[in-house]
Amino acid sequence: MRYGARRMRNQHTIAAIIPALNEERSIGQVLEAIPEWVDLVVVADNGSTDNTAEVARQGGARVVEETRRGYGSACLAGIATLPEPDSPNAPDAVVFLDADFSDNPAEISKLVDPILSGQWDLVIGSRTAGNCERGALTITQRFGNWLSCRLMRGFFGGDFSDLGPFRAISWPDFHRLQMDDKDYGWTVQMQIRALRKGLRTTEVPVEYRRRAAGKSKVSGTIRGIFGAGTTILQVVFREAWDSWQISTPPQ
């Protein structure tokens, strides 16, 4: 296997989680491009009907099956395979990226190095601040990002420009967030809960390109666009309500 040995990044251990659904034509390219110092790569197969899982295994990744469809479900399944933070084999940081090769795995260092140096706890790869290939983000996605980030700023004081899936977080701090969203609210929930817990958050500009193959599960259909947008807004307002209840003293 290519991954699983302790190669380490500046004496720190890195794990990568890749949720995947019917990405047999791109997952191999993603795995090939991941830096060799990433110690463990977990592909969370979200009920693929093609050969995504087999291609991922051939590429050296650990594959975990999650039949309950949902972006968050896949991420949680991948996370569940990692050692607890106090374990000797626990990673120091975990990076999330998509299986369609729209994120550039060569930029993982831009996300994890600020965490490993102790400067930040959560680093978001911003597609809107970086080099975004023409057509990679639809107008609907750009508007959804803008609206969600404005709401986060208003409710929680966060200064984000994107809900990009390409991100890294300190492994001990991830456990503090108690993530539980099983759908497309996963990314915004992570950012909100990081703000609520007082984590040090930042963004770095990243490259973003059109998917290497296949069709997007979100922007590729009207149902996907509407479902993802609705879910994200529900998470924002639910987290705001929970925060308000906690901060409001009982009468």
Give the domain CATH number at 37.
3.90.550.10
pLDDT surpassing 70 at residue 49 = yes
On average, the pLDDT of the chain sits at 90
Task: Evaluate if pTM is beyond 0.95.
Answer: no
Q: Any bridge partners for residue 93, and if so which?
A: 14, 170
Q: What is the mean pLDDT of residues 132-156?
A: 92
Higher pLDDT, 248 or 57: 57
Lowest-confidence range among 1-5, 71-75, 90-94, 176-180? 1-5
User: In this structure, is residue 172 part of a structural domain?
Assistant: yes
Q: What is the mean pLDDT of residues 93-109?
A: 97
Task: State the residue range of the domain holding 65.
Answer: 14-244
User: In this structure, is residue 250 part of a structural domain?
Assistant: no
pLDDT surpassing 70 at residue 251 = no
Tens digits of per-residue pLDDT, 183-197? 999 999 999 999 999
User: In this structure, is residue 131 part of a structural domain?
Assistant: yes
Q: Any bridge partners for residue 45, and if so which?
A: 20, 65
Tell me whether residue 147 is exposed, middle or buried, using C-beta atoms within 10 angstroms of its C-beta: 0 to 12, 13 to 18, 19 or more: middle
Q: What is the pLDDT of residue 10?
A: 78
Distance CA 182, CA 184 (A): 7
User: In this structure, is residue 40 part of a structural domain?
Assistant: yes
The number of domains in the chain is 1
User: In this structure, is residue 9 part of a structural domain?
Assistant: no
The DSSP element (H or E) to which 16 belongs, if any, is strand 14-20
User: In this structure, is residue 5 part of a structural domain?
Assistant: no
User: In this structure, is residue 251 part of a structural domain?
Assistant: no
User: In this structure, is residue 8 part of a structural domain?
Assistant: no
Distance CA 16, CA 128 (A): 23
Q: What is the pLDDT of residue 161?
A: 96
Q: What is the pLDDT of residue 220?
A: 47
